Structure 1
Amino acid sequence: MTVVYTREEIRLKAKELAKMMAETEEVDFFKRAEKQLNEHLRVQELIAQIKKLQKEAVNLQHYGKSEALKEVEAKIDGLHTEIDEIPLVQEFKSSQLEVNDLLQMVSNTISKTVTEEIITSMGGDVLKGTTTKSPYFDGGCQ
């Protein structure tokens, strides 16, 4: 007998999985790094300078002052470079990538498993990605 789940049951399981993911080492490190960044005075000063220059850039662009705009954009780029050279920022960006990798892995696993379950349940060949019972399904849930 095949079990049929409702959207609500799946949503609840997804929330449960999300809570599990929120308690991984990767997410814990990310949260700590973000907290440290928020408390890092130099980083906050640089961010404030960038925001101020971005507003200035919008005004310069609006008034068609292209040379002044290029200068402001160069300053913004320099501040971004300065921020990126701070080790804490590098750690934060690295942890951000790890959390994104975790999310992508879960998404890919779900997609692949759903596709394989559909193919198998329809008597198909998982390796070929084809079913034998439906001329319309080509293994395309991914």
Structure 2
Amino acid sequence: MDSLEQEAAVKTALDRLSELLEHNEVIQKYKALKQRVEQNKHLDELIEKIKQAQKDAVQFAHYGKPEAEREAIKEADRLTEEFNQHPLVLAYRTQLVEANDLVHHLTDLIQRKVNEGLEGESVHASKD
């Protein structure tokens, strides 16, 4: 097989792998949860409140108001905890870990197969 045939075969295999991943149940669940998180108005509002509390803390620090700064930081922390404990966020993060594990497993598998192929080629080349 010449180099161009190998490149075409690799591209075809990668396209097929991408398609399979796209339709994988773990990836599908991850994408669905991601979309739900992005479209959730309550989570959006929490993010905006967190950002505002953080901005307030910076402003209070700038103007030398340590008590107000502490309160703003405390509020930002409280809101962040509320965000982090939201059931949708927890489910999303769990699914993200599963999707990452799947992709990592596939990457390791591909790397091993490529290395085996390269080792096989170098053995053939040294025998010739």
Q: Aligning the two structures, in what range does the TM-score lie when normalised by the shorter sequence?
A: 0.7 to 0.9
TM-score by length of 1: 0.67
1:1-142 superposed matches below 5 A: 2=1, 4=3, 5-6=6-7, 10-57=10-57, 59=59, 63=62, 65=64, 67=66, 69-123=69-123, 133=126
Deviation per CA, 1:47-98: give whole Å up to 9, x if none: 111222344455566x385845554333322212111211111111111111
Runs of 4+ deviating beyond 4 Å: 57-61, 68-71
* Distance of 2:56 and 2:29 partners within structure 1: 35
Structure 1 pair 38–117 and aligned structure 2 pair: CA distance change class (3 A): same
- What SS class does the counterpart of residue 122 from structure 1 fall into? helix
Residues in 1 aligned to 2:94 and 2:48: alpha-carbon distance in whole angstroms: 23
Structure 1 unaligned residues grouped into runs of 5+: 125-132, 134-142
Identity value in percent = 22
Which whole-Å deviations, capped at 9, do the CAs of 1:93-141 have from their partners, x for residues lacking one? 11111111111111111111111222233239xxxxxxxx5xxxxxxxx
CA RMSD of aligned residues (A): 3.0
- Measure the CA separation in 1 of the matches of 2:11 and 2:55: 41
Structure 2 unaligned runs (5+)?
A: none
Letter in structure 2 aligned against 1:83: F
Matched residue of 2:13: which SS?
Answer: helix
TM-score, normalised to structure 2's length?
0.73
Q: Describe the shift of the 1:46–1:120 C-alpha distance in structure 2 as closer, same or farther (beyond 3 A).
A: same
